[in-house]
């Protein structure tokens, strides 16, 4: 991927408005709010979401807040220039993510950041 590029992965069971914004559809992906992920390049972890190996219960974040990972749309904050490669750290989505109501699709597939 080019610097500043985005890549959107969606479930094959997603609704059409979301599917139209996807780079790839997968039948084996399912998010329920308490998952942790790592993004790797050549076997090197470059970003994580959640705390790997930890079960937060039903969600990451504060229940009822827009940055809770259950039934909300999360987008990386504009001021975040690099991923968090250390998946062993405690995870609070409000630190690097902005929260929106569920199924907010505008802006999906873009991330504007002016890197120093």
Instruction: For residue 115, name the pLDDT band (cuts at 50, 70, 90).
Output: low
Give the residue extent of every domain in the chain.
9-100
Residues 6 or more apart whose CB falls under 8 angstroms from that of 38 comprise 45, 47, 48, 49, 52, 87
Give 28-86 pLDDT, tens digit per residue. Answer: 887 888 999 999 999 999 999 999 999 999 999 998 899 999 989 898 888 888 889 99
CA pair distance 50, 34, nearest whole angstrom: 8
Instruction: For residue 116, name the pLDDT band (cuts at 50, 70, 90).
Output: low
* DSSP letter for each residue of 36-94: -EEEEETTEEEEEES-TT---TT-SS-TTSTTSSSSEEEEE-TT--S----TTS---HH
């Amino acid at each position: 991927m080019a610097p500043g590029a985005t890549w959107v992965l969606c479930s094959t069971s997603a609704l059409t408005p979301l599917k139209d914004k996807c780079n790839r559809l997968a039948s084996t992906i399912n998010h329920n709010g308490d998952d942790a992920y790592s993004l790797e390049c050549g076997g090197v972890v470059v970003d994580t979401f959640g705390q790997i190996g930890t079960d937060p219960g039903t969600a990451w974040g504060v229940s009822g807040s827009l940055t809770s990972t259950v039934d909300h749309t999360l987008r990386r904050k504009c001021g975040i220039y690099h991923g968090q490669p250390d998946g062993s750290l405690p995870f609070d989505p409000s630190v690097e993510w902005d929260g929106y109501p569920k199924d907010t699709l505008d802006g999906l597939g873009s991330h504007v950041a002016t890197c120093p």
